[in-house]
Amino acid sequence: MPDQARAQRLAKRIAEIVASAIAHEIKDPRLRYVTITDTRVTNDLHDATVFYTVMGATLDEEPDHESAAAGLEKATGILRSKVGAGTGVRFTPTLQFRLDTVGDSARHLEELMARTRANDELLARQAQNASPAGDADPYREARAVDEGDV
């Protein structure tokens, strides 16, 4: 029977080990701006997916995702050895690295929300001094006739 709590604990430990190894032990310059954001382990504890983000060297510089992916691919064996030594599980999970796009998606949603708020404010200003095109209640006469007929 799969133990999800154990898988979550192992995922957290793997994230700590991988992040620490990237920051302090692996000297690949391609991994300088890589940050581990999340890790998920299958219930059978055989496979782990490590999510990461890449920052640019400066705020204006675009991050180099391809270079970081190549660096992580090259360091996968070393990182898996460190995970095996640091976790003490019988079978060391395979590591698969995936770029985490949650930050980009959140930024895009924030931009959409800001644009929507601006459009709502513009519409509210336009509606402030607006008047109806016809009568305020175009069905008033029809109702009076219908009520008189009954």
- Of the pLDDT bands very low, low, confident and very high (cuts 50, 70, 90), residue 146 is low
Q: How far apart are CA 53 and CA 72, in angstroms?
A: 12
Number of domains comprising the chain? 1
pLDDT attached to residue 69: 92
Q: How far apart are CA 135 and CA 26, in angstroms?
A: 75
Query: What phi-psi label fits residue 45: left (phi over 0), alpha (psi between -120 and 50 degrees) or beta?
Result: left
Which of these ranges, 56-60, 69-73, 102-106, has the smallest mean pLDDT? 56-60
Q: What is the pLDDT of residues 83-130, one digit of tens each?
A: 999 998 889 999 999 998 887 788 889 999 999 999 999 988 888 887
Assigned domain for 51 exists:
yes
DSSP helix/strand/coil, 58: coil
Report the CATH number at residue 59. 3.30.300.20
Running DSSP on this structure, what letter comes out for residue 25? I
Assigned domain for 30 exists:
yes
Domain that holds residue 11: 4-100
**Edge-to-edge strand ranges of the sheet holding 34-41:** 34-41, 47-54, 94-99
